[in-house]
Copies of this chain bind each other. A is one copy, B any other.
Amino acid sequence: MKAVIAVTLKPGVLDPQGQAIQRACTSLGYESIESVRQGKRFEVELEAASVEEARRLVEEISDKLLSNPVIENFEIESIG
């Protein structure tokens, strides 16, 4: 089974990398780019007997390994 997980910074958490990209856009003439937030995206291949079991497993590793729950949220974008 394959799952895609999006990990994003919580609102209010500063994102210097995103800000740097936004400034680079402006300096290259892309002035209509107002903000950029950078997050992570994981593609996980796993063995599971059912989609429910896979979801439980992916939620567990997303919370424990793929994200930092203090500053990040995760969302399972697709699974199956």
Q: Which residues of A contact B (CB under 8 A)?
A: 6-8, 18, 21, 24-25, 28, 30, 32-48, 57, 60-61, 64-66
Contacts and interface: CB of A to CB of B under 8 A. Distances in A.
B43 A37 contact: yes
B42 A40 contact: no
Contact of A65 (B21, B34, B64): B21
Contacts of A42: 18, 21, 36-39
B8 A33 contact: no
A46 B33 contact: yes
Contacts of A28: 64-65
A44 B35 contact: yes
B36 A38 contact: no
